[in-house]
Structure 1
């Protein structure tokens, strides 16, 4: 019997327009990275029923919250900045229900891009809504002309991100204009861009294996080191599953 863990991942959503039906989709890099890391990806379409979401999560060992458009700041009590291009409400509703249940059950989770921002917000942190205004000295974190735009990274050595990248100059794929401002309680920053923008967080809670990257280790410009983040995550999920089995036994 395979001991590969089942890793859920949310899917994006695009509403019907003109002669195009509504559809749900996911960039292949996410599930390909989980497969390469020896996990089994399970793609979850948007749902708005907490009972159904809970039933799905019961069958999974871990979860990857994917990136996408922007979280709507109005859902967290803030005004809508002109630069914000919100997720479709169908997806955001589902994502927030998923994240709340994942946090409640302390399921291992990895958030990427918008997924990391949601992890931080759901746990009590907040966000910069537009780096060009909030941190005008920041280097470019998004290039509309280059989907593979990269910038350097400073990592904390005693962390999962530190284990992956080690010493030396690191460059990661970046495409965001929002970023973490205040870090949620129970989490610490484990990587920043040299301009100070937070690029990775990890849980300090003993009962929750959770991490997030603002950069995109799944994208087409990802390096072999980037892919190791998924290997570390899948290994951590498997370790957690084995611990749970020992407790039951």
Structure 2
């Protein structure tokens, strides 16, 4: 029987308000996609303790960093744009500790939406804070009236995204107003919207299986092909698990 890798998923956080307690949560599409792809999802609530994060990651074989609100640009030395709706600091603090440890370990990583943006920023890239201002000729990438808004995608054939989607026109689920500007060293762009907005990046580092999508392959409007991204990722985590098992035996 094929062993199933344990795949970590970070959770979002909402602070207490009025008569509502604080709570942590994750959209079901993320863990359902991991399950369908053959992995076992393990949801981690936000933590601000590096030792606890390291202990949790010791038990995992890969990690999915989810989408959500916006990264606070002030944490990376930039001004706060009026369009930015920052993540709760509790989540952002935890996410930044997670990405630091994941990248140090070269743990297989799938970043989606905000997760991809954080992966890029942490590795030395940066972001457009508002597509409408920074790229005025871009097509809409977010529709507040339509959570299932989609746009077309151009992919590089010699990439994970290329293996998933193949040739022909592709449409993906889009819900963002920030986007990658400069790509981090060690990564390359593997998919763009026809307007030039970066929609996927992949690691070129031999020792790190890492891929990010700005679009949302986990959402309810995703196509039947989108689950293949999770399958490719879970396979990568399984390969990493097999290598680690061999090291233990040796």
TM-score, structure 1 as length reference: 0.99
| Superposed displacement of residue 244, structure 1 | 2.3
Unaligned 5+ segments in structure 2 are none
**Distance of 1:28 and 1:199 partners within structure 2:** 22
| Superposed displacement of residue 2, structure 1 | 5.9
| Superposed displacement of residue 246, structure 1 | 2.3
Aligned positions, number: 249
**Distance of 1:245 and 1:91 partners within structure 2:** 32
Q: What are the within-5 Å matches in structure 2 for residues 56-205 of structure 1?
A: 56-205=56-205
SS in 2 for 1:200: strand
Hey, what does 1:215 align to over in structure 2? 215
Displaced runs of 4 or more, over 3 A: none
Unaligned 5+ segments in structure 1 are none
**Distance of 1:99 and 1:136 partners within structure 2:** 31
**Distance of 2:134 and 2:153 partners within structure 1:** 20
Hey, what does 2:228 align to over in structure 1? 228
| Superposed displacement of residue 229, structure 1 | 0.4
Hey, what does 2:55 align to over in structure 1? 55
SS in 2 for 1:237: helix
SS in 2 for 1:144: coil
